[in-house]
């Protein structure tokens, strides 16, 4: 009996009701933060700040951009900020031959003079020895 193997499974396991663990942790953190706002601010200010935080948290928790969750996009942004990649493009600088091909064809190369060393003769060695003995 053959079983079909699922491919490209993009959903995370639902651990707590319809939420995965990442979504659950975010929502619990937001609920705690909103409750903490009521201790810091007056009631009306706390409600306004809590609503703003709750809307942002819901967007971060359940939102998707380009079929990617916002949480993964935010983690990539944070990674890029902490460890930026630097891409440098260096174009090869053109040579004179590439810039002015007509002129370089007209210029003839001078023949190179190659001087090969000669072996010293016995007389040269004797003259060198006499000069060194004098000094």
Over residues 19-58, the pLDDT tens digits come to: 888 889 999 999 999 999 999 999 999 999 999 999 999 9
Q: Is 114 exposed, middle or buried (0-12, 13-18, 19+ CB in 10 A)?
A: exposed
Give residue limits of the domains in the chain: 12-109
Provide φ and ψ at 6, rounded to 5°. -70, 140
| φ, ψ (nearest 5 deg) of residue 129 | -65, -40
- Is the CB of residue 61 less than 8 Å from the CB of residue 29? no
pLDDT of residue 76: 92
Mean pLDDT across the stretch 77-104? Answer: 78
The answer to whether the pTM exceeds 0.75 is: no
């Amino acid at each position: 009996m053959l079983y079909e193997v699922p491919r490209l499974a993009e959903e995370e396991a639902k651990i707590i009701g319809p939420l995965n663990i990442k979504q659950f942790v975010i929502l619990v953190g937001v609920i705690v933060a909103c409750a903490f706002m009521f201790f810091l601010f007056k009631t009306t200010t706390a409600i306004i700040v809590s609503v703003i935080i709750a809307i942002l948290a819901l967007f971060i928790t359940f939102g998707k951009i380009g079929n990617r969750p916002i949480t993964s996009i935010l983690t990539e942004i944070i990674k890029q900020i902490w460890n930026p990649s630097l891409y440098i493009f260096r174009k090869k600088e053109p040579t004179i031959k590439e810039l002015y091909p007509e002129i370089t064809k007209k210029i003839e190369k001078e023949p190179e003079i190659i001087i090969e060393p000669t072996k010293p003769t016995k007389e040269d060695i004797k003259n060198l020895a006499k000069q060194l003995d004098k000094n």
